[in-house]
């Protein structure tokens, strides 16, 4: 056990990661040595930043807490703290069931942790954070919470109403991160589309991104988690105008069947969804759209699922993920619908939709062979440098693999790379001058 050292373990999404990064900076400012996601915990204090979104994520968080609880009983940890979405959602139950945890903190009151350790939260560092990502890219969280209240989603129960970060605060954070060497900004929120409504009375995402794009040193801006209903169409000319705004949009559509969309309380129809996708592609030529779909939601019979299959085949999304519905306590769906679709049927539907997407991805990726793209280098191993194009978000999208024998490349630098081969989920290339 290393005294005055804190190990922080982040589970779940990149929004959680940003919270951990702010907490790390505060701990460092108070004299602690901090390690993020260590291979082996050896600090006297361990903090687990939990996810509470879906059942699998909840179970992962619980398993981690139980494992660390055993480590504490063995005398290898002095204090164990738990924060984040799971703690926010199930605080009372967790306190009763996990006495080995010294204290639970929710999604927003983690600043109290410093006071409980006899330290202080430093307001002058509130916009600073310690990057856990490679130093050339960062996530920029522009809002918290959500007002959409989709039937299946527990996020509003955890994070509360949508709350935007003031634009000046965000722009100052971007400038500070650029001064630290960050070149790529992955803009994140539970609902990008609503950014600014609570503060300025209108959707301000276009204005924010336009101003970010004009900051010297910002090489790439990528947008994650737009909402299709009341989509801020003014963002499209901004994306088309600025070379450093990636032609990429992550927008979860969930389904295509009007019946299922209505049950989900998405407030959009299939026809409106198709019109949205077509307009995005028309106004931003070459854009790669990433979406997420759900199978097995109550009301999805064979007809509705086949509608979804046809939709995927017609829309040909450049990037797509999917998951099976699982009932979440406290949601509208849990209260008003019976989760009667058998798990094996959900699994079969999930497999089918992903098999279709793999074929689509293979065709889209193959068309890139022979073309030259701007690629940022993230890492290197014994065989390959790993990089990404503007259409590839860290962690979730395909990588560009460049053989190390092609020559020495610098991590965090951009190169022009000719694509020589492709698979559905990887590109291979060589640097060209």
Q: Give the tens place of pLDDT for each residue, 178-189.
A: 999 999 999 999
Phi, psi of 102 (to 5 degrees): -70, -40
> Can you give the pLDDT at residue 125?
87
User: Based on C-alpha coordinates, what's the Rg of the chain?
Assistant: 22
Q: Give the tens place of pLDDT for each residue, 159-205.
A: 889 999 999 999 999 999 999 999 999 999 999 999 999 999 999 99
With bands split at pLDDT 50, 70 and 90, how would you rate the model's confidence at 107? confident
Q: Give the tens place of pLDDT for each residue, 112-158.
A: 999 999 999 998 888 889 999 999 999 999 999 999 999 999 888 88
Taking residue 40's Cβ as centre, other Cβ atoms within 10 Å add up to: 8
Taking residue 306's Cβ as centre, other Cβ atoms within 10 Å add up to: 11
CB 427 within 8 A of CB 365: yes
- The tokens for 89 are 């959602």
Q: Give the tens place of pLDDT for each residue, 281-290.
A: 999 999 999 9
CB 107 within 8 A of CB 158: yes
Average pLDDT over residues 12-27: 91
Average pLDDT over residues 71-98: 91
List, in sequence order, every residue forming a beta bridge with 387; answer none if it has no partner.
377, 400
Strands 399-403 and 384-388: antiparallel
> Can you give the pLDDT at residue 228?
97
User: If phi over 0 gives left and psi between -120 and 50 gives alpha, with beta otherwise, what is residue 423?
Assistant: beta
Taking residue 223's Cβ as centre, other Cβ atoms within 10 Å add up to: 25
Percent of the chain with pLDDT over 90: 86
Q: Give the tens place of pLDDT for each residue, 263-276.
A: 999 999 999 999 99
Q: Give the tens place of pLDDT for each residue, 375-387.
A: 999 999 999 999 9
The number of residues making up the chain comes to 433
Q: How far apart are alpha carbons 48 and 18 in whole angstroms?
A: 14
What is the pTM for the complete model shown? Answer: 0.92
CA triple 352-357-361, angle to 5 deg: 155
């Amino acid at each position: 056990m290393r005294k005055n050292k804190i190990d922080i373990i982040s589970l779940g999404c990149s929004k959680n990661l940003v919270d951990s990064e702010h907490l790390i900076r505060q701990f460092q400012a108070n004299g602690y040595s901090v390690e993020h996601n260590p291979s082996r915990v050896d600090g006297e204090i361990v903090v687990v930043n939990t996810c509470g979104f879906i059942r699998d994520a909840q179970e992962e968080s619980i398993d981690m807490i139980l494992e660390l609880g055993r480590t504490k009983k063995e005398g290898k940890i002095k204090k164990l703290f738990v924060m984040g979405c799971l703690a926010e959602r199930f605080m009372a139950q967790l306190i009763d069931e996990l006495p080995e945890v010294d204290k639970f903190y929710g999604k927003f009151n983690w600043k109290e942790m410093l006071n409980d350790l006899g330290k202080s939260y430093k307001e002058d560092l509130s916009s600073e954070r310690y990057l856990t990502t490679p130093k050339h890219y960062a996530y920029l969280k522009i809002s918290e919470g959500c007002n959409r209240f989709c039937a299946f989603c527990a996020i509003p129960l955890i994070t509360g109403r949508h709350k935007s970060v003031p634009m000046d605060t965000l722009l100052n954070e971007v400038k500070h991160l650029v001064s630290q060497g960050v070149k790529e900004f992955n803009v994140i929120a539970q609902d990008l589309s609503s950014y600014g409504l609570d503060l300025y009375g209108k959707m301000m995402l276009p204005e924010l991104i336009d101003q970010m794009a004009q900051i010297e040193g910002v090489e790439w801006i990528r947008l994650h988690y737009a909402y299709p209903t009341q989509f801020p169409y003014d963002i499209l000319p901004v994306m088309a105008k600025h070379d450093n705004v990636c032609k990429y949009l992550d927008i979860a559509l969930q389904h295509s069947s009007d019946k299922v969309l209505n049950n989900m309380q998405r407030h959009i129809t299939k026809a409106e969804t198709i019109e949205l996708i077509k307009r995005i592609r028309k106004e931003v030529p070459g854009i790669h759209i990433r979406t997420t779909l759900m199978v097995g939601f109550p009301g999805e019979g064979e007809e509705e699922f086949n509608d979804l299959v046809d939709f995927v085949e017609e829309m040909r999304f450049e990037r797509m993920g999917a998951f099976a519905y699982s009932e979440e306590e406290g949601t509208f769906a849990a209260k008003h619908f019976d989760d009667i679709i058998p798990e094996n049927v959900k699994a079969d539907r999930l497999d089918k939709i992903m098999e279709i997407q793999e074929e689509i991805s293979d065709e889209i990726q193959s068309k890139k062979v022979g073309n030259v793209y701007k690629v940022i280098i993230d890492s290197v191993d014994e065989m390959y440098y790993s990089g990404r194009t503007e259409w590839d978000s860290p962690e979730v999208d395909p990588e560009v693999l460049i053989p190390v024998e092609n020559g020495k490349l610098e991590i965090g630098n951009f190169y022009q790379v000719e694509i020589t081969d492709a698979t559905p989920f990887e590109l291979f290339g060589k640097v060209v001058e």
